Amino acid sequence: MRGKASIILIVGLVICLCVPSILAKKEGEAENMSGKILQLNFKFNVTGEEYEKAVTPLANEFAALSGLKWKIWMINEAEQEAGGIYLFENEASAKAYLEGPLAAQVTSHPALSDFSVKLFDVMGDLTTITRGPVK
């Protein structure tokens, strides 16, 4: 019993001493992380193939958006749901997209409905640990 208590004490000490220094090293990297995550989901009423064909021409327009670092396109064909995860440089860039002509084009398309739009801050320290692509 005494041996187990010593091991637990040592492990606890290692965690207390080592984890802050590991996080401190990562923290310097995380300071360079900023941005705003936009999560956009919606339903579509066409086939997955028709949806992809319709949005493919928009990829270059998204790539040219001011302040957009990247966009991940996503689809769940079985549920007829699609959307994207976007990383913008800042909240102003995300809001400019949401209030701009490209978002209006997407949200007014007759094959799309039930939009869910959410903005999130990046949790830099934790994202660095899990190798999230938000630098």
**Burial letters for 64-102: b for 16+ Cβ neighbours within 10 Å, e otherwise?**
ebebbbebeeebeeeebebbbebbbeeeebbbbbbeeee
Integer Cα distance of 135 and 120 in angstroms: 16
Which pLDDT score is estimated for 34?
75
Residue percentage of the chain with pLDDT more than 90: 72
Domain that holds residue 116: 36-129
Kindly report, residue by residue over 51-69, the tens digit of the pLDDT: 999 999 999 999 999 999 9
Say if residue 125's pLDDT is above 70.
yes
Verify that 43 and 70 share a domain, yes or no. Answer: yes
Verify that 15 and 75 share a domain, yes or no. Answer: no
Considering 15-19, 38-42, 121-125, the range whose residues carry the highest mean pLDDT is: 38-42
**How many Å separate Cα 66 from the centre of its chain?**
17
- Does any domain span residue 135? no
